[in-house]
Structure 1
């Protein structure tokens, strides 16, 4: 990739990534721009900084080593966002980018968009227009505010176009390009060897995969205890395999998550291993946005433990279903019994593996 050494002026397009979903979305865009000879650099904010949450993703996805790692780390939303803005302002002032490209809805996304907008640098937002309409989610503020300051909104699903129109975003700024996260999944499909993963991690042949990390599910001890009870009920039927996200680890452990012999707890997995785990599952229980998308393409029934989703296309065109915790054991039982309706799927429009190419073509057309 054509990029400048850390700290030197680079111009061109600067990609801002900070958390593992960003890496998966950025990889096909970076690759497509590279093929078109674009000048670009990657700034890692360090929002996810553990190797299993960050560096391993760069290695597996073929992303170039970041030109700079800001190493911001964790903290409250205010502390993290403020630190990100200070460091990003310094970085943009030094690099003088022609455009900043942000991904998803994490704190790094909003911080970079605000700093760039105040410096008069055009901002493109990949995965624009998604809305849960739940303002208790920090991500809802991040994505909504980012869309108001970006000049290019790259949209992954049709309903997002309508959301942006209702919020007054001019139509010429909105580009329906498909989902770059699915580009990455399809490009690596032959690497998701479920049998090899089961053998290596000593997993059962039939299992339910689970991943939970959202504050509404893991921050309150009573809520965490109820969820652990439901996961144990599922484990009475079939083993539950769960990579434990650092967020929520303590609360779920305190509620006795690992005390059931049918619950297999894992450390956080890299991209290939995690998607392979989902691919091989009979069902997946999650509160993650990305897993809703990945399970849709993989044809795995997805039970999303949330009252809403910013990705409704995974319900109308996929395998996803919003559920309350009390429903989980019964629904898993139906899936294990061969409930055909749970596996019906219709690929969302433009989730065809070419979103990164469309984004790169649009960006090169404006440079």
Structure 2
């Protein structure tokens, strides 16, 4: 969201009001609110909730609270648009509030398709049906939104805002990362993130155990970041504590956007089940090992190796990503399917053009 917010804030056509919630404010998950402020972005509303962490009941309670809080924000601000990114359940709460208030929703990140048993897919499509304008990261996702019955004029292939950040922002060098994180560049570095599958939180502990065991046995330096706040995340964090004596695993609650992307740029491989392994790594021509089915069916480049939740399979996939010369050459030439770095410009021009469109809130099938 950063390039979109900054471009809008610097324009005389837009007034930006930013509301944040969920893990942005949760110390347990590293609290990224300070990072937003460091980017010179003003936070107008900080909505504190208790992230789901362990149970579906907590997730439902958080959605209910967020719906009430977002409604109060919208009543006060009366915006022309509500701009939302992604497929989090917190985002869905904001979408419901905006929809029933009759405020057009502009949604970035719709049309992604996964088949790994994650509720994100359904939530994403629900937001699509509530939204008036759809900013997609690639043409395949635009086609998916058309199949959901959305009119073509509502859909814009803007590319990914993250890709814009990767292509335009000056990231940290290897030397700077060595000083900040005490990284030993003599060995290949692994960047690891694994989230729970929201429909099967009870499996999160056993699944992360397979991954951490594989990484520990490989013996390569590994930067491990915390999971998202979905149900099952507590089980992952408990397993992190069981492995915190591993000499090659370095745990971080929240690296922050710039530091995380800098590590990605210079690492040997990204491992886990985060969408960043598919979306962002092609820009840097870095290989990714995608574990399990969480990202199954999502658009990807040719730099991705899939592996099940199995220690030996994960080890084999990581070794291939780092040491297989044929695969390394393939990764060097992998295409980036997710935009050319002009996402914020495309989005703001479209929002300005469509603002007075009388059909924004009148949807047909």
- CA 1:225–1:357: 2 relative to 1, 3 Å: same
Aligned residue for 1:45?
21
- CA 1:258–1:45: 2 relative to 1, 3 Å: closer
For 1:144-183, what aligned pairs fall within 5 Å after superposition?
Answer: 144-183=125-164
Aligned residue for 2:303?
319
Is the CA contact 2:320–2:327 (under 8 Å) kept in the aligned structure 1?
no
- CA 1:250–1:29: 2 relative to 1, 3 Å: closer
Asked which structure has the greater RCO (Cα within 8 Å, sep 6+), the reply is: 2
Aligned residue for 1:307?
293
- CA 1:268–1:64: 2 relative to 1, 3 Å: closer
Aligned residue for 2:2?
27
- CA 1:296–1:273: 2 relative to 1, 3 Å: same
Q: What is the DSSP-based 3-state SS (H/G/I as helix, E as strand, rest coil) of the residue aligned with 2:254?
A: coil
CA distance in 1 between counterparts of 2:321 and 2:264 reads 15
Aligned residue for 2:194?
212
Is the CA contact 2:305–2:317 (under 8 Å) kept in the aligned structure 1?
no
1:253 to 220, 240, 247: 240
Please give the TM-score of this superposition, normalised by the length of structure 2: 0.84
- CA 1:88–1:310: 2 relative to 1, 3 Å: farther
CA distance in 2 between counterparts of 1:140 and 1:349 reads 20
1:292 to 245, 260, 278: 278
- CA 1:86–1:321: 2 relative to 1, 3 Å: same
1:133 matched to 2:115: yes
Please give the TM-score of this superposition, normalised by the length of structure 1: 0.83
Q: Could you tell me how far 1:168 is from its partner in structure 2? A: 1.0
CA distance in 2 between counterparts of 1:350 and 1:240 reads 27
- CA 1:159–1:303: 2 relative to 1, 3 Å: same
Deviation by residue 1:125-175 (Cα, 9 ceiling, x = unmatched): 0111111134x3121222110001101011111111121121111112111
Is the CA contact 2:196–2:204 (under 8 Å) kept in the aligned structure 1?
no
For 1:344-359, what aligned pairs fall within 5 Å after superposition?
Answer: 344-349=332-337, 351-359=339-347
Q: Could you tell me how far 1:349 is from its partner in structure 2? A: 4.3
Aligned residue for 1:239?
221
Q: Could you tell me how far 1:110 is from its partner in structure 2? A: 0.7
Q: Could you tell me how far 1:350 is from its partner in structure 2? A: 5.6
- CA 1:349–1:36: 2 relative to 1, 3 Å: farther
Q: Could you tell me how far 1:77 is from its partner in structure 2? A: 1.7
Q: What is the DSSP-based 3-state SS (H/G/I as helix, E as strand, rest coil) of the residue aligned with 2:286?
A: coil
Deviation by residue 1:309-353 (Cα, 9 ceiling, x = unmatched): 2774323xx522322133221122223324342424433346211
1:54 matched to 2:38: no
CA distance in 2 between counterparts of 1:336 and 1:272 reads 24
Is the CA contact 2:135–2:155 (under 8 Å) kept in the aligned structure 1?
yes
Q: CA RMSD in A?
A: 2.3
Is the CA contact 1:132–1:310 (under 8 Å) kept in the aligned structure 2?
yes
For 1:264-283, what aligned pairs fall within 5 Å after superposition?
Answer: 264-283=250-269
Is the CA contact 1:48–1:73 (under 8 Å) kept in the aligned structure 2?
no
What is the number of residues matched between the two proteins? 334
CA distance in 1 between counterparts of 2:171 and 2:250 reads 23
1:191 matched to 2:191: no
2:318 to 325, 332, 335: 332
CA distance in 1 between counterparts of 2:201 and 2:246 reads 20
Q: Could you tell me how far 1:308 is from its partner in structure 2? A: 5.1
Q: Could you tell me how far 1:42 is from its partner in structure 2? A: 1.0
CA distance in 2 between counterparts of 1:338 and 1:133 reads 29
Aligned residue for 1:65?
42
Q: Could you tell me how far 1:243 is from its partner in structure 2? A: 2.6
- CA 1:64–1:311: 2 relative to 1, 3 Å: farther
Q: Could you tell me how far 1:59 is from its partner in structure 2? A: 3.5
